[in-house]
Structure 1
Amino acid sequence: MTLIKSISGIRGTIGGGVGENLTPIDVVKFSSAYGKWIKNQRNKDQYKVVVGRDARISGEMVQSLVMHTLSGMGINVVDLELSTTPTVEMAVTLEHADGGIILTASHNPKQWNALKLLNKDGEFLNAAEGQQILDYVEQEDFDFADVDNLGKINYHNAYIDLHIEEVMALPLVNVEQIKQSKFKVVVDAVNSTGGISIPPLLEMLGVEVIKLYCEPNGHFPHNPEPLAKNLKELSKTVVSENADLGIAVDPDVDRLALVDENGEMFGEEYTLVSVADYVLGKTKGDTVSNLSSSRALRDVTEKHGCTYHASAVGEVNVVAKMKEVNAVIGGEGNGGIIYPELHYGRDSLAGVTLFLSLLAERETKVSDLRGTYTSYYMAKEKIELTPDLDVDQILNSIASEYKSEKISTIDGVKIDFPENWVHLRKSNTEPIIRIYTEAKSQNEADKLAQRFIQEIKDLA
């Protein structure tokens, strides 16, 4: 069993001992720390926080603890109940709230849950803000409201509908052409809140929807990470139903994976690449992804005569870079689309509509569209750390060894070779070094990863 406290929130497995797992006491402590941070940030008479959850089994229990803790601090709560991460993010700004909490462990299995924390802009907290909350948790110095000043909890069940309306109103979403295309789509929502957001959106667009696991009961029928090995049933159903494509989302609906008409994975890295291709064809501007994302986004950006930028790993870092360069589209290679015209957060609803707009306008099959992009292959490895290992010294030595190559050290060490790249970074949540590589064949990517694993071992 596990409890992980980090600057991006708290996550862990349900049950077990306090301080070792995500227990009710840990939830209350962390919610109290967040409430204290909200009050110190905003310093006013009335406070409001939006709270929503994915469909995992522990969600209702955890949400009740969170909301009543905030109420106990005198903070009003907007209860979205079952929702998606991007929906909660949008609700924070639409409610003019002081912050938001999303209760989801994203792609982790059902025994996990987590508190993801938002600021007044509906965006994840930065490192300094996250550290403040961790400090408050350790101090346990909380000031709760008296009985006449408890916060009120108000239920609001319309935000997924509002989210869908906002997405469909985007100027680049070609509603009429999508309707005319009469797409047939299979949706695997892993029995979470994608089931109450993606099918209604598609139906509004005139798409015929075949539902797989769209009942939001939290009983995940397979590992909820939207990877090829977990989506075999989706692939088979796309073929057997003669569908145009398959759509898979993770439990909180911020990662989007696509399957072509032949049941083959489109590639999670290429979700962002294809959507960026569409957006840049309509709106010129910069793009951003993190250092561990595919070079294919850079290729498609330069094809449109625009400039690509890389950020440190983590959504908050991607968003910061997007704001800095005024990017028109960005995201992460795990199927996360960030479209600032809507909001600064990974959003599968936006990704679905922009992808279908591209497909409808080009009047092409998903497999043929995929064939228009350069194929890259990635390897993802890791090395377990021992207490005596000086990771920073090892990474510095590697950076020095390859100083003649194009190097970035904003997040570990990334070395861009002419035909491939390697990214070495220390995990924020586990005692490991991650080794990501990309090349134009799987064999080459695998060999590059093994080469750097050996180099790290030689330096250890």
Structure 2
Amino acid sequence: MSLMISVSGIRGVVGASLTPETLTDFTMAFATWVSRRKALQNPASDAKPKIVIGRDSRPTGGIITQLVSSTLNLCGCDVIDVGMTTTPTVELATAGEEADGGLIVTASHNPVEWNALKMLDEKGEFLTASDVEELLVILNEKNKESARWDGLGSMIANGSWDKKHIDRILKLDCIDRDLISSMKFRVLVDAVEGAGSFIVPELCRQLGIAEVKTLACLGTGIFPRNPEPVEENLRETMDILSKESCDLGIIVDPDADRLALICEDGMLFGEEYTLVACADFYLKHHNGPVVNNLSSSRALQDIAEKHEVECYSAKVGEANVTEVMKGCNAVIGGEGNGGVILPELHYGRDALAGIALFIQAFAEWKAVTDGTLSEFRKTFPNYVMSKQKVKLDGMTKESLAALFDAIAARHPEASINRLDGIKLDFPEGWVHLRPSNTEPIVRIYTEAATKAEADALAARFIDEINQSTIA
């Protein structure tokens, strides 16, 4: 597996594609990029660049953090190490410490043998595509930033940001801890031994949840299952919850930027519906546009229409969603993988913010109805998605463009969006065809009123793709 490079940083298998040399090279390039950016923005300042670093719980995280921090010091950067914590916490800390950049040692939902460097700018946000281009140019330069013996950076530890993150969430004007406390909720938290192992249960307690039961919350970094919070990986947790008589289950991925929820009957609330439920609640308090990506559920559009606001869709990817959110001044947004972005806190997916909004929304509904979470789920528009893929050998940009042109021509009845592959909206559902950036495949996402209809829509377009490529 080769090293993966994107706007969120670099990612690879430790000891294979992610080596000490790779980590050192990219860290030096990042330090140089930060230093030059600081010099342009504050030419009168002679202060050393300041960089925040944090990590998830993976066994390789500590030693990689040491290597990266030492490299930054040798490049003349001061380092604030916030320790093992979540990705959104590091994002908040980077802005809160008025740092010049941030690094997160985490491979998110990838297996334990993977690790990564997520790179942040001075606002605690992922680098833009043009920023990454600049970084890659610097990577190939011989004269990267390097400090003299008397100009080395310092390193200090600051473990206060978990508390600060929770405090920021508790101060949201839409959160009513007294109401939540009155519900006497019993909750199961599964942090898959990741960075959310301690902060997520503590947030739940601070919100006023009466009983917080934990599963895989020791922070060992040895994931007991595939850590991506999707249904096929959560069956054991779903079974445990149904036997524990809990009101709901809360599951986060290893760096806690994605949130999944389980109903009291052991069934998933639905990863697409994390954002839908949070947006429906938040729009009652802060009216304004909402944003998702093109592969997210139509349910958010329905919620936007209910609140008489605009719903915009971005290309798939957190950085793309936040860019559109800024452009339209969206009050909330995210992706259908359980990622909630709340600009009131910061521009980044934040499972902790999602937890607070969701529990508050459920508490307010339950106070009136005394219903269960599975009944709460039925109050939202109901759609079902199908996710498929088809392999296309010899795929080129030109052949893909021709394929998508042909598909669009065959469906004049559909509303067409070519922002990210091709998306066709029909009255009864939609289909989104996206080429992979790493494999010769086209991913096929469909949504309809039932699973059978969504699967049939996917099969129909797989057949169209195959027929087009044969022709």
State the TM-score, normalized to the length of structure 2. Answer: 0.94
* Among 418, 432, 437, the residue aligned to 1:409: 418
**Counterpart residue identity of residue 64, structure 1:** Q
Which position in structure 2 is the counterpart of 1:58?
60
For residues 429 and 92 of structure 1, do their structure 2 counterparts lie closer, same or farther at Cα, with a shift above 3 Å needed?
Answer: farther
For residues 394 and 136 of structure 1, do their structure 2 counterparts lie closer, same or farther at Cα, with a shift above 3 Å needed?
Answer: farther
Contact 1:29/1:140, CA 8 A, preserved across alignment:
no
What does 1:114-133 align with in structure 2 at a 5 Å threshold?
114-133=116-135
* Among 65, 75, 99, the residue aligned to 2:77: 75
**Is 2:434 aligned against 1:422?**
no
Which position in structure 1 is the counterpart of 2:227?
224
**Is 2:363 aligned against 1:360?**
yes
Which position in structure 2 is the counterpart of 1:341?
344
**Is 2:279 aligned against 1:270?**
no
Shift of 1:40: 1.8
Q: What secondary structure sits across from 2:283 in the alignment?
A: helix
* Among 34, 38, 56, the residue aligned to 1:38: 34
Partners of 2:169 and 2:439 in 1: how far apart? 36
**Is 2:377 aligned against 1:381?**
no
**Is 2:9 aligned against 1:9?**
yes
Contact 2:341/2:348, CA 8 A, preserved across alignment:
yes
Q: What secondary structure sits across from 1:281 in the alignment?
A: coil
What does 1:95-134 align with in structure 2 at a 5 Å threshold?
95-134=97-136
Shift of 1:386: 2.6
**Counterpart residue identity of residue 90, structure 2:** V
* Among 140, 143, 153, the residue aligned to 1:151: 153
For residues 401 and 72 of structure 1, do their structure 2 counterparts lie closer, same or farther at Cα, with a shift above 3 Å needed?
Answer: farther
Contact 2:7/2:126, CA 8 A, preserved across alignment:
no
Partners of 2:440 and 2:125 in 1: how far apart? 27
Cα deviation, 1:143-182, whole Å, max 9, x if unaligned, reads: 3111111111111011011100111111011111111111
Shift of 1:6: 2.7
Contact 1:6/1:428, CA 8 A, preserved across alignment:
no
For residues 237 and 377 of structure 1, do their structure 2 counterparts lie closer, same or farther at Cα, with a shift above 3 Å needed?
Answer: same
Q: What secondary structure sits across from 2:126 in the alignment?
A: coil
Partners of 1:275 and 1:173 in 2: how far apart? 12
Contact 1:191/1:213, CA 8 A, preserved across alignment:
yes
Cα deviation, 1:345-393, whole Å, max 9, x if unaligned, reads: 1111111111111111111321111001121111112233433542233
Shift of 1:445: 1.2
Cα deviation, 1:73-126, whole Å, max 9, x if unaligned, reads: 111111011010100000011000111111111111101111111111111111
Which position in structure 1 is the counterpart of 2:42?
none
Q: What secondary structure sits across from 1:382 in the alignment?
A: strand
Partners of 1:211 and 1:270 in 2: how far apart? 23
Which position in structure 1 is the counterpart of 2:446?
437
Contact 2:431/2:446, CA 8 A, preserved across alignment:
yes
* Among 83, 86, 102, the residue aligned to 1:84: 86
Q: What secondary structure sits across from 1:282 in the alignment?
A: coil
Shift of 1:141: 3.9
What does 1:207-286 align with in structure 2 at a 5 Å threshold?
207=209, 208-286=211-289
Partners of 1:260 and 1:132 in 2: how far apart? 46
Which position in structure 2 is the counterpart of 1:293?
296
Contact 2:423/2:430, CA 8 A, preserved across alignment:
yes
**Counterpart residue identity of residue 396, structure 1:** D
**Counterpart residue identity of residue 373, structure 1:** F
**Counterpart residue identity of residue 130, structure 1:** V
Partners of 2:137 and 2:408 in 1: how far apart? 33
Structure 1: gaps spanning 5 or more residues: none
**Is 2:459 aligned against 1:450?**
yes
For residues 30 and 285 of structure 1, do their structure 2 counterparts lie closer, same or farther at Cα, with a shift above 3 Å needed?
Answer: same
Contact 2:57/2:219, CA 8 A, preserved across alignment:
yes
Partners of 1:412 and 1:136 in 2: how far apart? 31
Structure 2: gaps spanning 5 or more residues: 40-44
Partners of 2:129 and 2:71 in 1: how far apart? 24
**Counterpart residue identity of residue 177, structure 2:** V
Q: What secondary structure sits across from 1:289 in the alignment?
A: strand
Cα deviation, 1:415-449, whole Å, max 9, x if unaligned, reads: 11111111111223444321111111111111211
For residues 388 and 361 of structure 1, do their structure 2 counterparts lie closer, same or farther at Cα, with a shift above 3 Å needed?
Answer: closer
Which position in structure 2 is the counterpart of 1:397?
406
Cα deviation, 1:117-142, whole Å, max 9, x if unaligned, reads: 11111111111111222232234541
Contact 1:7/1:134, CA 8 A, preserved across alignment:
no
Contact 2:413/2:426, CA 8 A, preserved across alignment:
no
* Among 192, 200, 203, the residue aligned to 1:201: 203
Partners of 2:408 and 2:199 in 1: how far apart? 45
